[in-house]
A = this chain, B = another copy of it.
Amino acid sequence: MANSPSGDSMLDRLVRILDSFDAKTQSLSVSVLARRADIPVASMYRLLDSLVEHDLLSRDASGQVRLGLRLWELANRSAATQDLRTAALPFMEDINQLLRQNTQLSVLHQDEVLIIERLSRPGSVVNQANVAGRMPVHRTSMGMALLAFSRPEAIRDYLSRHQAIMAATYPDFRAEMAEIRRTGYATFDGFIDPETTGVAAPILDDAGYQVAVISVVLPRQTRAVQSAGLALRTAARGISRALQPGGSA
């Protein structure tokens, strides 16, 4: 790999550039982008020319930089997430319409919850989750459902990396996991917004391990948690079937 004089590889820089944008920051000036990505401004300008030429980034009339549509195309065209989305979307719509609350589809990735798809609903409770956004495992219903239905060795590895915070959050972690497995869904009271409760059911493979999770955000103190859990488990089973080769709803 060709490196800059600082030993920083082209790929390191590219990832830092892309990582400088997020849902709330869809465009940046070149100087702010250079600072965020920790790249000297002169190098940033040279690199930008190549990235814009390939349409991985684009510059608008005012000079602001944003992601290029070609990057979106290349990253989505063959994404494994497309199959999951295609299988899950009809069931997410059912949940979204029946429970009348925001509905998410997420996976466990690098010890965090990565949100793959989200259907929102006018008038539903606040929900900060964005598509391609991340949330912590230990403080979301999605994360706890994913963890409880992971392979034993994956749970052990996760715990070894996050022992302190899990012990602080869950005095009896084993009982917590057992309860989620017994009911088939996880709940968590408002991590981002204290007025909400998340409910999440795992989408399982043939061996009974999670491949993803479907969840809703309900108003807190609702009595609807149990029925939401059952509805989510029903949707999750439908998605599992749709994910089988040749499968459909």
Interface residues of A (CB under 8 A from B): 1-4, 9-12, 14-15, 18-19, 21-23, 25-26, 46-47, 50-51, 54-56, 66-67, 69-82, 85-86, 89, 93, 107, 109-110, 114, 119-120, 122, 130-134, 248-249
Measured in the bound complex, the distance between the Cα atoms of B56 and A77 in whole Å is 14
CB distance from A123 to the nearest CB of B (A): 10
Known: A66-B80, A74-B132. 8 other contacts (CB 8 A): A10-B11, A11-B14, A21-B77, A26-B78, A69-B114, A76-B131, A77-B133, A122-B249
Nearest CB to that of A82 among chain B residues? B131
21 A-B pairs with C-beta separation under 8 A: A1-B46, A2-B4, A11-B54, A14-B14, A15-B56, A15-B74, A18-B74, A21-B78, A22-B78, A23-B78, A26-B78, A55-B110, A69-B107, A70-B109, A72-B75, A72-B79, A74-B132, A75-B76, A77-B130, A79-B132, A86-B120
Q: Which of A1, A66, A248 has the most CB of B within 10 A?
A: A1
Q: Contact: B131 with A89, CB < 8 Å?
A: no
CB distance from A32 to the nearest CB of B (A): 14
Q: Contact: A66 with B51, CB < 8 Å?
A: no
Q: Contact: A26 with B80, CB < 8 Å?
A: yes
Q: Contact: A72 with B132, CB < 8 Å?
A: yes
User: Taking the full assembly, how many copies of this chain does it contain?
Assistant: 2
Q: Contact: A10 with B15, CB < 8 Å?
A: no
CB distance from A107 to the nearest CB of B (A): 7
Q: Which residues of B contact A249 (CB under 8 A)?
A: 122
Q: Which residues of B contact A50 (CB under 8 A)?
A: 1, 9, 11
Measured in the bound complex, the distance between the Cα atoms of B77 and A109 in whole Å is 15
* A75-B78 contact, Cβ under 8 Å, with A2-B10, A119-B89: no
Q: Contact: A76 with B76, CB < 8 Å?
A: yes
Q: Contact: A109 with B69, CB < 8 Å?
A: yes
* A248-B122 contact, Cβ under 8 Å, with A23-B82, A75-B71, A80-B67: yes
